[in-house]
Every structure is written in C-alpha cells, then in structure tokens.
C-alpha cells in the first residue's frame, strides 16, 4: 500500500513597494523565504494596494513594484517553487478586504499601533485606508489559507487581529478560514540602521545613509559601512554585547548573517584589530553577497517579456487559490453567485 504524500504547510508574506528593498529586508525576510522554498507552499506578493495609504509618485510606485518582483527572483525565489505575484493583479484581495472590513471592529482598528505611528508621520493624510488596512491585510492572509505568516515582531499584532477576525467569521458561519500562526525568524530578523543601531533599517528612510539597499553600488555600500556607528570606548574591541555595544553588535549580526560565522569566530578573527579593520570587512562581505543579486535584478528588469509573463503567471496561480476561498465566503455571507 502506498504511503500518502504529506501535504506541505502553506506560508504567505508580502512587502510594500514603497521603498527600495534593503539589506534588512533581505536578511530578515527574503533570504529566509528562499531557504524555505522546498519545505512549504509559498505565496509572496508585492503589496501595492497597501502602498496607496500614503501618497506616491505613480511612476515610482509602478517601477518599484516591478523592481521588487525582479529582486525577489534575483535573491533566489524560484517562480516555479513559489507563487510570486502583485497584489492588485488578484481582485479577490480587494473584495475580501471589503467584506472583512464589515467583520472588523472599530475598537480593534483603533488599537493598532502602526495606525498611530503612521498617523503621526502623515498628519496631513490620515485617510480611511490608513485606518482600515489591517482588514485588507487579513484578507491578504486568509485568502490563501496559510498555516504560517513570517513577520517581524512589529507586525505580529496584525496576525493576531487576522486570527480574531477569522475566528469571529468562523463562529458566525462555520469553518471557513484556517487560523494562521505568526512565524518569526530567530536569526537575522532585525537588521538595525547603520547610523542609529536602536532603530530598524528602514526601506522608507528618505535620506538612506543608515541603510544599505540591494541595488546600491559597491562604492556606496563601502562608504556607508565605513561611516557606521560603532561605540565610544577606548578599547575598540569587537565583542558581541548588544546592550553595551549596540553598533558593534549590529555589524556583527550582519557579518554573521552574510558569512555564516558565529559571534565567537568573529571575535577571534578581529581580536586586536579594532573598528578600522572590522567595518570595511563587513562592508566587503555585504558587497560580495549583494553583487550577484544586483546584477541579476538589473538583467531581469531589462527583459520586459519575462517580467510580463512572470506577473501574468503569478496572478493566475494566486487567483486560482484565492477565488476558491472567496467563493466560499460570498456564499456564506449571502452574496448572489456570479
């Protein structure tokens, strides 16, 4: 008798194309996605609808959306092993987002810390989408019935809200949505700003001197690492002590992530050498890690036919799964079938 093939668990995540993908995006998220390609059924998308909650130059948004898709592939996300797509190319996201708006409570949305943070930063544009986008995020997740959603600690609240909304819907209409679990990577999950090691490296940082982007040229990368904040002490020793030496700890975390070396091995390698040797070494390791990614992404961006096919095929594969969930939801809430 044949042994039944165990069905893979499903994982889903997305990143807004509102800024350039950074070293933090790669080490904290995309690199981990690549390593999980054979372990799960993976859905990764460019969250361009979420990007509309803030004002963007339309041409820049289109360019960044396609660049992000190209960079995903260049980072090693095989489109045959992973479903890669643009959020707005799958209309089910917007439709389920509206439906779940009607099952998400005002008080729940009011408590979302990201709404408070973004409202403070965009005081002249506190729009309805900024307030209700967690319902769209819940739709993004629940459409694909995932088991896991890889997120940083700062996004865990959104998965918790998604679970609350799914549970509310399931209690009203019977089992409809799978309850997703947040999946928080333990290694490389938070790469900090090179100039402010107490803040996460952000792809929306307009100045950009504390962040390293995947498409930065080697000279810029080296300049940023040479200017990276270390710590004001007399010894200049390379030691992993996040509380005492957050700047050095951040650089060590980056070096460990791109070389595979342990903190003990890094400390031994740079014993007695000081920051003047350590910072360029980290920069060079990052340059060589990002070089093939940048070159491949540039090649893909020039191949318009390949990009168009990638968008079309990804949307078709995603829509096939999303529409199955949406049909079930439409029927349960009382909408007339098409």
Percent pLDDT > 90 in the chain is: 63
Residue 200 falls in the annotated catalytic set: yes
How far is residue 14's CA from residue 90's CA, in Å, rounded to a whole number? 14
**pLDDT tens digit string along 49-77?**
999 988 889 999 999 999 999 999 999 99
Percent pLDDT > 70 in the chain is: 91
Q: Confidence class of residue 321 from pLDDT cuts 50, 70 and 90?
A: very high
Q: Residue 119 pLDDT > 70, yes or no?
A: no
How far is residue 185's CA from residue 182's CA, in Å, rounded to a whole number? 10
pLDDT of residue 205: 61
How far is residue 220's CA from residue 214's CA, in Å, rounded to a whole number? 11
DSSP SS3 for 22: strand
Catalytic residue among 7, 8, 116, 200: 200
pLDDT of residue 243: 84
How far is residue 11's CA from residue 56's CA, in Å, rounded to a whole number? 29
**pLDDT tens digit string along 268-306?**
999 888 888 999 999 999 999 999 999 999 999 999 999
**pLDDT tens digit string along 161-187?**
999 999 999 999 999 999 999 887 655
- Give, as one character, the DSSP assignment of residue 26: I
DSSP SS3 for 213: strand
The burial class, CB within 10 Å (0-12 / 13-18 / 19+), for 246 is middle
Q: Confidence class of residue 235 from pLDDT cuts 50, 70 and 90?
A: low
C-alpha 221: how far from chain center: 21
pTM, rounded to two decimals: 0.85
Residue with more model confidence, 240 or 303: 303
Residue 331 falls in the annotated catalytic set: no
Decide if 13 contacts 185 (C-beta within 8 A): no
pLDDT of residue 100: 97
Domain layout of the chain by residue ranges = 9-184+304-333, 218-299
- For helices 113-121 and 156-173, what crossing angle results, to 10°? 130
In terms of CATH architecture, what is 218-299?
Orthogonal Bundle (1.10)
Q: Confidence class of residue 242 from pLDDT cuts 50, 70 and 90?
A: confident
DSSP SS3 for 45: strand
How far is residue 173's CA from residue 169's CA, in Å, rounded to a whole number? 6
pLDDT of residue 206: 59
Catalytic residue among 16, 31, 203, 245: 203
End-to-end CA distance of the chain: 43
- Same fold? 9-184+304-333, 218-299: no
Catalytic residue among 7, 16, 81, 118: 118
Average pLDDT over residues 252-256: 93
**pLDDT tens digit string along 188-204?**
557 899 999 888 887 66
pLDDT averaged over every residue in the chain: 89
pLDDT of residue 154: 66
Residue 302 falls in the annotated catalytic set: no
Fold entry, domain 9-184+304-333:
Rossmann fold (3.40.50)
E strands in the chain: 9-15, 40-46, 82-86, 148-150, 181-183
Decide if 85 contacts 93 (C-beta within 8 A): no
């Amino acid at each position: 008798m044949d042994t039944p093939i165990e069905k893979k668990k499903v994982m889903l995540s997305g990143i807004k194309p509102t800024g350039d993908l950074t070293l933090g995006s790669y080490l904290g998220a995309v690199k981990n996605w690549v390593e999980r390609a054979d372990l799960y059924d993976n859905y990764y998308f460019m969250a361009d609808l979420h990007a509309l909650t803030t004002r963007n130059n339309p041409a820049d948004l289109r360019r960044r959306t396609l660049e992000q898709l190209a960079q995903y592939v260049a980072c090693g996300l095989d489109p045959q092993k992973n479903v890669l797509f643009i959020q707005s190319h799958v209309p089910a996201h917007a439709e389920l987002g509206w439906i779940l708006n009607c099952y998400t409570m005002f008080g729940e949305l009011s408590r979302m810390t990201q709404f408070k943070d973004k409202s403070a930063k965009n005081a002249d544009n506190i729009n309805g989408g900024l307030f209700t986008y967690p319902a769209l995020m819940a739709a993004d997740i629940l459409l694909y019935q995932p088991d896991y959603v890889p997120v940083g600690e700062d996004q865990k609240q959104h998965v918790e809200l998604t679970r609350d909304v799914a549970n509310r819907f399931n209690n009203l209409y019977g089992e409809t949505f799978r309850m997703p679990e947040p999946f928080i990577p333990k290694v490389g999950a938070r790469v900090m700003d090179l100039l402010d090691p107490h803040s996460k490296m952000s792809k929306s940082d307009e100045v950009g001197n504390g962040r390293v982007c995947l498409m930065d040229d080697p000279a810029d990368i080296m300049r940023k690492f040479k200017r990276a904040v270390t710590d004001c002490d007399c010894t200049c020793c390379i030691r992993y002590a996040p509380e005492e030496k957050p700047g050095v700890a951040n650089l060590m975390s980056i070096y460990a992530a791109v070389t595979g070396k342990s903190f003990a091995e890094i400390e031994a390698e740079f014993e007695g050498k000081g920051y003047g040797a350590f910072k360029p070494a980290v920069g060079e390791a990052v340059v060589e890690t990002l070089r093939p990614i940048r070159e491949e992404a540039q090649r893909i961006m020039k191949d318009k036919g390949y990009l168009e096919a990638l968008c079309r095929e990804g949307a078709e594969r995603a829509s096939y799964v999303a529409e199955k969930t949406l049909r079930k939801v439409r029927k349960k809430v009382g909408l007339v079938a098409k």
